[in-house]
């Protein structure tokens, strides 16, 4: 008979996600994982695999608990520009919060992957990141396509151009929030982006 786990794996995975989000993959030691999750190494390996497998599971958990909630307005069926504005408003509020100082786990990981000293398995984790960015880009483009069909977007701009511009802009804002730690400036820029899109 298999021995039952004496802890909640989902709760431990959430703690691991937060730790990687704060410190990054390379700067997080196995001992820090043990201390944060408050379970021994055997239990970690037995439940999640090695450090890299735990990190990949943490990325998936981030996708399910943070990323999907954030882009939920884009996945709706209402007016395209209304969905875009709600998404950007939600993102702006998230950037004002404490977690906004941590940046985006997806972006942080992408930057770490490009570092010269990175010891992350690039191919497998890179595929996860590409999938997440593609999902966001697709939802942005779909919202702009709806806006175009609703007569709410100038035909001078394609939905793909608009989606790529917004994706680049929000990545810049996320990075600035993390590096400058000046949420009021990020709020101004997010408001500016939202008002600009309304004029397209």
pLDDT digits (tens, 9 = 90+) for 46-104: 999 999 999 999 999 999 999 999 999 999 888 999 999 999 999 999 998 877 888 88
pLDDT digits (tens, 9 = 90+) for 122-144: 777 888 888 888 999 999 999 99
Q: Hunting for tokens 């990054």 — which residue is that?
A: 24
Please, which pLDDT band fits residue 113 given cuts at 50, 70 and 90? confident
Q: Which of these, 194, 174, 195, 188, lies nearest to 66 by C-alpha position?
A: 174
The tokens describing 170, both together, are 């929000």
Torsion of CA 56, 58, 61, 67, to 10 degrees: -90
Q: Is the dihedral of CA 70, 76, 80, 82 positive or negative?
A: negative
- pLDDT, residue 46, reads 95
Q: Per the CATH hierarchy, to which homologous superfamily does domain 71-199 belong?
A: Tetracycline Repressor, domain 2 (1.10.357.10)
pLDDT for 1 beyond 50 = no
The domains of the chain are located at: 8-58, 71-199
Calpha distance 73→84 (Å, rounded): 7
- pLDDT, residue 118, reads 56
CATH number of 8-58: 1.10.10.60
Residue percentage of the chain with pLDDT more than 90: 64
pTM, 2 dp: 0.85
Exposed, middle or buried: residue 13 (CB in 10 Å: 0-12, 13-18, 19+)?
Answer: buried
Calpha distance 102→181 (Å, rounded): 10
Calpha distance 33→138 (Å, rounded): 34
- pLDDT, residue 116, reads 53
């Amino acid at each position: 008979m298999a021995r039952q786990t004496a802890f909640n794996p989902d709760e431990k995975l959430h703690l691991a996600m937060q730790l990687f989000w704060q410190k990054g993959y390379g700067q997080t030691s196995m001992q820090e994982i043990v201390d944060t999750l408050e379970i021994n190494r055997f239990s970690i390996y037995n439940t999640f695999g090695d450090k890299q497998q735990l990190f990949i599971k943490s990325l998936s958990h981030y996708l399910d608990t943070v990323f999907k909630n954030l882009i939920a307005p884009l996945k709706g069926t209402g007016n395209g520009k209304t969905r875009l504005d709600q998404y950007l408003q939600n993102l702006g509020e998230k950037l004002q919060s404490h977690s906004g100082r941590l940046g985006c786990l997806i972006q942080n990981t992408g930057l770490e992957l490009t570092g010269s000293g990175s010891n992350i398995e690039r191919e497998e984790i890179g595929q996860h990141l590409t999938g997440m960015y593609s999902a966001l880009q697709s939802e942005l483009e779909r919202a702009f396509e709806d806006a175009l069909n609703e007569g709410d977007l100038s035909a001078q701009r394609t939905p793909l151009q608009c989606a790529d511009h917004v994706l680049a802009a929000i990545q810049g804002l996320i990075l600035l929030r993390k590096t400058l730690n000046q949420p009021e400036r990020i709020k101004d820029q997010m408001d500016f982006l939202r008002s600009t899109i309304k004029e397209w």
